[in-house]
Structure 1
Amino acid sequence: MSDNSTDAGTEAGSPPFAEFAANLKPMNTPGEVAELSGIKIGTLARWRSMGVGPRFIKIGRTVHYPKEEIIRCLSENIYQSAGEAREGTSHDDPEDLRLRRRDQRRRVHRRMPRRTGPGAGTPTVNPSGRHDPGGPQDARP
């Protein structure tokens, strides 16, 4: 039995991406990349904003990924174990990326500041049964 793995990956450079590369066009939209690769469009957008993932070309508002960049990005991220993936990160400064992620989480989970002073207590219900936000009555127009 002969090994055809070298023949199958001639276009992509590695066998796992041979069929994938054959279906890619020279320039691909995020929707096309998502459909072929299974990577969500939102993930591609997040990668663009963070400066990771495949490099892209932007003309006006339209984003395109060159075929070679998609294959390069995917082939650079093949790992044997999770530990290898952590060590082999291709970011220039992994600490900076970690801090950006931490800051994003903080923005999402930030609470509104508590009101203090008069009228900051629990709302009351006035006799008519309508909601009254509380506070001094003379402050209203």
Structure 2
Amino acid sequence: MIRNLWGPNDVASYLGVPVGTVYQWRSRGGGPPGRRVGKYVRYKPDEVEQWFESQPEGMI
């Protein structure tokens, strides 16, 4: 089953952070889990939400 996947802009919008922050997290090994699909990074919305819920308050 194909589900909607998010790009970095979608993740940034959901979390209320600049898209550059999402790229920094990825390059430093942090942030929500993403996967390469061709030349793009894609995120599963439910995994982004789980990652967000697991973060201590004030850390994002």
TM-score (normalised: structure 2): 0.77
Unaligned segments of structure 2, at least 5 residues: none
RMSD: 2.0
CA distance in 2, matches of 1:39, 1:67: 16
* Structure 1 runs of 4+ with >6 Å offset: none
1:44 partner amino acid? V
Find the aligned partners of 1:72 and 1:41 in 2 and give their Cα distance: 19
Match of 1:53 among 20, 31, 47: 31
Partner of 2:19: 41
Structure with greater Cα Rg: 1
Aligned to 1:31: 9
* Distance in 2 between residues matched to 1:51 and 1:59, nearest whole Å: 18
Q: Secondary structure at the match of 1:28?
A: coil
Query: 1:71 aligned to 2:30?
Result: no
Superposed, 1:1-141 pairs within 5 Å as: 26-79=4-57
Q: Which amino acid aligns with 1:34?
A: A
Identity %: 28
Give TM-score, length-normalised by structure 1: 0.36
Q: How much does 1:44 deviate?
A: 0.5
Which structure 1 residue ranges, 5 or more long, are not aligned? 1-24, 86-141
Q: Larger RCO: Structure 1 or Structure 2 (Cα < 8 Å, ≥ 6 residues apart)? A: 2
